[in-house]
A = this chain, B = another copy of it.
Amino acid sequence: MKKNMIIAQSGGPSAVINASLAGAIKRGLKEEGLKIFGSLYGLEGILKNEIVLLNEVFKDEKNIENLKNTPAMALGSCRYKIKEDSEDYDKILKTLEELEVGYFFYIGGNDSMDTVDKLSKFFKNKGHDIKVVGIPKTIDNDLMNTDHTPGFSSAAKYVATSIREVFTDTLSYDKPTVTFVEIMGRNAGWLAASSVMARANDCNAPHMIYLPERPFNEDEFKRELEELSKKEKVILVAVSEGIKLPDGTYFSASESQSHDKFGHAMLKGAGTRMEAIAKEMGFKTRTIELSLLQRSAGHLVSKVDVEEAFTCGYKAVEMAMDGKTGIMVAMERTSNNPYKVEYVPVTIGEVSNKEKSIPLEWIDGNDVTKEFIEYMRPLLGENPFKDHFRLDRKALYKK
């Protein structure tokens, strides 16, 4: 009898994590007699025996397409970290044996890859033939040894689109303003940097981009803003939530939190804090936090991303069936123009608990380089603005 498979989703949602699930299910269904189990709420489903059988629903091919085009996490997620030398290991093993599972797939980011690493080692050491394979997922794009991560490109498309729209909105008035847009990314600035893709003939925003990779210096920022305001009336600044001071502490935590009348701490983000500095300088300001919107926007996915997420799921099952374990499916860009990726296994220990930052040579002061833009361009899909930014308003400005 074929061994069965189980799959779970973990960490923060993205708009395409269900596409990876759909890809894995699609490949799993090719194996006759194989049961495909889903663990609800990540690893916790296995620990609490909250497990569903997926074969029936997805016999209908249409439902695979439907799942592929539904954002967030159909199976639910958790932020559970497996404890060293805990009962967790035996509990998981017991459940998997009961279900006759030979293949375990975990869709997630750095922390989830740590789980893949630990479990694959545990099964091997105990002599159990259970393959464990990681499927990458994070809007942060901070996983090592993969060109990029599923989820990132769609979030980047959302960020670039929103920034272009917000900037076009602020241009409506003939008044000097500075708008800060705060973008996710605690330690790596990939998503904030992707805001550069908003630029077009009629959009020179974002005018400045502040990333965690480069220490934030308040005096320098003031000078840069002052200088810029001599050339530009309407300014937009992209700020990563994770920018840090020269001493390595988060800028967002740098000043003691204010409190409201209830004594509640009013946490301010990096954007709001930069706004306070600009306001102090006399600028008319506003901050927009893209918050959960940037990772949940299923209506604005990059098609490239959806297909890649799907294929990562598909290939993960294929690699496990080929006998691989303790690996993550990674993408290798073999050509940029035309854009091509290959799917390869990478050793999980080279991925788990590590973070990939933007190469410093792709950062130029408060901007990114052409190389970064070349890297980004294919990920958003062809001409992402073609349907809704059709006319350069400057065409009208002829007397």
Contacts and interface: CB of A to CB of B under 8 A. Distances in A.
Interface of A: 9, 13, 18, 38, 40-41, 44, 51-54, 56-57, 63, 65-67, 69-79, 161-162, 165-166, 168-174, 179, 255-256, 258-262, 264, 266, 268, 272, 276, 279-280, 286, 288-289, 291-293, 295-301, 385, 387-391, 393, 395-399
B53 A391 contact: no
Contacts of A397: 40, 52
A61 to B, nearest CB: 13
Nearest to A300: B299
**Number of chain copies forming the complex:** 2
Given A70-B393, A74-B391, A293-B293, 18 more contacts: A41-B174, A54-B396, A63-B391, A69-B388, A71-B165, A72-B165, A72-B171, A72-B172, A75-B393, A161-B299, A169-B295, A258-B260, A260-B276, A264-B280, A266-B266, A288-B289, A289-B289, A299-B388
Nearest to A64: B391
A123 B256 CA distance: 59
A73 to B, nearest CB: 4
A304 to B, nearest CB: 16
A385 B297 CA distance: 12
Contacts of A286: 291-292
Contact of A52 (B171, B258, B399): B399
Contacts of A70: 388-391, 393
A288 B291 contact: yes
B264 A256 contact: no
B398 A52 contact: yes
B262 A296 contact: no
